[in-house]
Structure 1
Amino acid sequence: MGTLTVEGADLGYGDGPAVLSGITVTARPGEVLAVTGTSGAGKTTLLNAMAGALATRSGTVTVDGVPLTGRDHAVSLGVVLIPQDNGLAAILTAAENVSVAVIATGGSPADARRRTAESLDALGLSGQANQLIDELSGGQQQRTALARGLALRGDVVLADEVTSELDAANRQRVLDLLRAEAARGAAVVFATHDPEAAAACDRELHLADGAATWPRP
């Protein structure tokens, strides 16, 4: 499984000021790493860099020592990003959103059917499998995006605020599923502003004022 390392990274957008400076962190197989901080602290920026979607201004992002060259390269190395904005196709059903992603990353149609059913069931969405995304509530859409990410069986799983619209029972369900991803050997990074969710993770990296600290190594 993959070890994802960010080393001395400065991160920002365009010609704007750096959002984060001198960030060094390693996400290890078998653990859930919480990335915490207030809104605007840089949690999504860091996960985008870890996913290969944002190039570093300096420093490196590597998976098992291989520097990421972009999002497609990261996908080929088993890096799954579950984005904050869900990124679901509104014209597809919940099941189609999951199965299309599995097939796009090399899964067979049979794999797609099986993994789609398993992941939707794990998130309590079997009854919504054939509903269009626009017919789902915000929380159901968030769980569908998570089901899609989990169905990809990544070596590195990056989950960005994936419990923000969920009630307590579903939040615990998601935390259990992220823990299960780590148990099968994935490196899991969970960006959250929820202190209770962060406390359930193995380690915590806190972002504030453009820098990172370790309140709970």
Structure 2
Amino acid sequence: MSRTVVANRVTVGYGGEPVLREVSAMAVPGRVLAVTGPSGAGKTTLLWTLAGLLRPVAGEVSVAGHPLRDLDHAVAEKIVLVPQDNALAAILTAAENVRVALLAGGVAADEAGRRTTTALDRLGLAGQANQLVEELSGGQQQRTAIARGLALHGDVLLADEVTSELDAANRRRVLDLLQEEARRGAAVVFATHDPEAAASCDAELHLVDGRAETVRR
């Protein structure tokens, strides 16, 4: 596993004023990078750009030394995004949401079942596996989305504000799991507004008004 993702002086917008301005960042295998900053600073935009969902108007994102073309290329390079809004299907159960993502990624049915059970258990959701997502609390939905992301076994894991709905115990659980992903060799990028969570990461990129103001390596 060797999937370093580099954003080199990227400027990104949605058709108007740029949301990111000449921002550089690096996701390194075996390390967790925290992306911090106030609401509107560009944290989500940076993660979407690293995931191939947005194309920079200037600068470049590369993965394993090659320019990142689009979302399909990112998926092929095993870049996994856990979005802030969870993106779960409300009419499916927690387990079905995880398993469907694995099957769509080409994982065999038996293996998908095993990974689903393991991932939900790691997030403390074994008892909610067969509950519809619409019946779960906000925190349980967030943990289901994290379980899905972990089950995909990405080389790069992008996690957007994935502890915002969680209590202290589950926040700690998720931070430990992100560190576990890094220890198995994944490059992890974690967008957060929580300074304590950021302090537990290996490095930090702080955004203000779309610019990188401070970097902790």
Amino acid at match of 1:34: A
> Equivalent residue of 2:24, what SS?
strand
Q: Which residue of 1 aligns with 2:175?
A: 175
- CA contact 2:99–2:113 (8 Å) conserved in 1: yes
Q: Which residue of 1 aligns with 2:5?
A: 4
State how 1:155-194 maps to structure 2 within 5 Å. Answer: 155-194=155-194
Q: Which residue of 2 aligns with 1:44?
A: 44
| Distance across 2 between alignment mates of 1:25 and 1:135 | 38
> Can you give the 5+ residue segments of structure 2 that lack an aligned partner in the other structure?
none
Q: Which residue of 2 aligns with 1:33?
A: 33
State how 1:107-122 maps to structure 2 within 5 Å. Answer: 107-122=107-122
Amino acid at match of 2:95: A
Identity fraction in percent? 66
Amino acid at match of 2:17: P
Question: Which consecutive segments of 4 or more residues in structure 1 shift more than 4 A?
Answer: none
| Distance across 2 between alignment mates of 1:210 and 1:133 | 34
Q: Which residue of 1 aligns with 2:70?
A: 70
| Distance across 2 between alignment mates of 1:67 and 1:152 | 23
| Distance across 1 between alignment mates of 2:114 and 2:57 | 41
> Equivalent residue of 1:5, what SS?
strand
Amino acid at match of 1:93: T
- The CA deviation at 1:214 is 3.0
Name the Cα RMSD after superposition.
Answer: 0.7
> Can you give the 5+ residue segments of structure 1 that lack an aligned partner in the other structure?
none
Amino acid at match of 1:28: V
Q: Which residue of 2 aligns with 1:140?
A: 140
| Distance across 2 between alignment mates of 1:215 and 1:30 | 18
The alignment covers a number of residue pairs equal to 216
Amino acid at match of 2:84: Q
Amino acid at match of 2:89: A
- The CA deviation at 1:213 is 2.9
Amino acid at match of 1:4: V
Amino acid at match of 1:94: A
